[in-house]
Structure 1
Amino acid sequence: MTILVIAEHDNLTLKPATLHAVTAAVEIGGDIHVLVVGFGAQGAADAAASVIGVSKVLRAESDGYAHLLAEQLAPVIVGLAPGYSHIVATATCAAKNTLPRVAAMLDVAQISDISAIVSVDTFVRPIYAGNALATVASSDFIKVITVRGASFALAAASGGGAVIETVSAGPTPHSSRFVGQEVSPRTRPELTTAKIVVSGGRGMQSGENFHLLDAIADKLGAAVGASRAAVDAGFAPNDYQVGQTGKIIAPELYIAVGISGAIQHLAGMKDSKVIVAINKDEAAPIFQVADYGLIGDLFNVLPELLSELDN
């Protein structure tokens, strides 16, 4: 049994999402190969070869993959698929765009966002915004799987010695093309990998007030997140959103400020190790999942908290 893990990378380095997928693949069992598709991606391939648990890295290079699109990546995966029992990736935006195409081209059912592995063909995944868990068994000849990163630890990124093999990139489809991208400058940790996250909700009342969280986050070395209500109101950008329709995270410390605790938000952060809630409504649902709760006006609490962090 051999498992193919789809690498996420920037051609130079491997993204942490890949390490979550490797851990899941190790739990399934068997040889683990990592596919690196890109242009000038030797650095990413070398990083993948160093991951503990990986036995082989497949590198597909083409100048057409300089800005890799799902329409380009899916055919490469499908071409390699007959040699594998499982195709695995972490449930990021990129994988959610690519793997359904792979599953459709292979005529198999995708098993999405799994949080636990029962056996080689049976998996657990959350449903109803995480309020129930479904155990799913697949009889497909190839299992196409996305894993919930928050449910699987990062594989060790160094110490491995996998071989790197070059594979044919194949023709580049022209059904879509890369036009451009706008990347937001980032001075704080990535939301999905941060150990501490400070999130704001509708209770922040405005985008200007939302920046009150920045000083707290900077003192703690934390990432800043937001509820869907805050994003929809324009208080924070879309890439800050935590929840069922945003990012699923599980930091060591999650501080929820002015967040009521809607079910779709809880689905994205309730696996956090420690949850602290600050809200003036003592009946807010967020307190039901919080390890520590502070009932009070956030506009009084935040300056006091910042003052304590300064001392």
Structure 2
Amino acid sequence: MSFETCKDVWVFIECFNGQPKSVGLELLGQGRKLALGLKQKLCAVVIGKETEEAVKAAGEYGADKIYVVQGDEYEHYSADAYGHVFLELCKKYDPNTILVGATANGRDLGSKIAVSLRTGLTADCTALSVDEATGNVVWERPAFGGNLYAQILCSETRPQMGTCRPGAFKKPEKTPDNRPVVIEEEIKTPEHEIRTKVIDFLNACEDTDLRLDEAEIIVSGGRGMKSGENFAILKELADVLCGTVGCSRAAVDAGWMPQSRQVGQTGSTVAPKIYFACGISGAVQHVAGMSESGTIIAINKDETAPIFEVADYCIVGDVFEIIPALVKELKAKKQG
């Protein structure tokens, strides 16, 4: 793609059953920041069989333009179909920068686009900015187990591309009065070119709790919980608060909790309104996954635990005494 003609910041709005996933809407906020730095437009890309809800949401969260491709062949994600659409759009409109959510599908799509366009792709970004002197996006991501942060530039090719984990950024404020330009493109993908087909969806595990990246309140436990059975008291607190339970890597490694509940660099990145860290020491890789939470409440016996350095409220004490007392008080207030 050409440096002279490329323009605009694109955000892929991933959908499931016609509904936009949160990560695309979160990235519209970061996309706006980059668009202002580059003095360009913020554009959303929506692909699917039913696109109305996603188009509406993209407009409400600030997109200036929305490119829409609709068709039966796009009901479910496939690298062949979605990749074909995205590449055709890129050839026609020549974007400067592309943001994609680091979901299973997003990682797949991002790498396919980058390879096809012979450009770079920075994965799992946690901060984005613009070097105004060069027009390069500065992609920041954890490196060496979260002990360092790398800043990566794509200075020789366009478009610049990066993926960001769900929950790494907060959604921007809604702008209900926004009136984006909606551009509908007719791009068909022949059935014989789509080499995979979705037969059915199965739950990965018997996990009926609220998804970590969708929860406004998360109650997480670590090595200090001592056993998997003790996570029951965290579940009780989460239920009272209409939240969900998370955990540190230590709890997963010990076999106490499933990996789907892990918060951290090797688990989920979350940014709930309230995050409880119970019996969690505060390893760098865990903090990298929850430091953007609105309010962080840490409970730990060790007053020197690193988790207290990022917490808004620090409680030094026994989690097995504090959590039941907190649950009792919250239930009394609800009943009263």
Matched, 1:176 2:203: no
1:25-51 Cα offsets, whole Å, 9 max, x none, are 212222233222222333333433443
Q: Which one of the candidate residues 133, 136, 146 is aligned to 2:152?
A: 136
Deviation at 1:152, TM superposition (A): 5.0
1:136-285 mapped onto 2 (5 Å cutoff): 136-139=152-155, 140-147=157-164, 149-156=167-174, 158-162=176-180, 163-172=182-191, 173-183=193-203, 186=208, 188=210, 190-285=211-306
Partner of 1:286: 307
Q: Distance in 1 between matches of 2:288 and 2:115?
A: 27
Deviation at 1:182, TM superposition (A): 2.2
Q: TM-score, normalised by structure 1?
A: 0.87
Q: TM-score, normalised by structure 2?
A: 0.81
Aligned residues: 309
- Decide whether aligned partners of structure 1 residues 256 and 114 sit closer, same or farther in structure 2, where only a CA change above 3 A counts: closer
Gaps of 5+ in 2: 1-6
Q: Which one of the candidate residues 45, 49, 56 is aligned to 1:39?
A: 49
| Letter aligned with residue 105 of structure 2 | A
Q: Which one of the candidate residues 122, 127, 142 is aligned to 2:142?
A: 127
Q: Which moved more, 1:149-158 or 1:133-142?
A: 149-158
**Alignment identity in percent?**
34
- Decide whether aligned partners of structure 1 residues 267 and 50 sit closer, same or farther in structure 2, where only a CA change above 3 A counts: closer
Partner of 2:4: none
Deviation at 1:261, TM superposition (A): 1.9
Partner of 2:3: none
Gaps of 5+ in 1: none
**8 Å contact kept, 2:43–2:63:** no
Matched, 1:78 2:87: yes
Matched, 1:18 2:24: yes
**8 Å contact kept, 1:8–1:18:** yes
| Letter aligned with residue 123 of structure 1 | V
- Decide whether aligned partners of structure 1 residues 191 and 54 sit closer, same or farther in structure 2, where only a CA change above 3 A counts: farther
**Which secondary structure state, in structure 1, belongs to the residue aligned with residue 82 of structure 2?**
helix
Q: Distance in 1 between matches of 2:88 and 2:309?
A: 48
Deviation at 1:61, TM superposition (A): 1.6
| Letter aligned with residue 200 of structure 2 | G
Q: Distance in 2 between matches of 1:114 and 1:285?
A: 20
1:191-236 Cα offsets, whole Å, 9 max, x none, are 2243322111233233332122122112223232111222233322
**8 Å contact kept, 1:13–1:47:** no
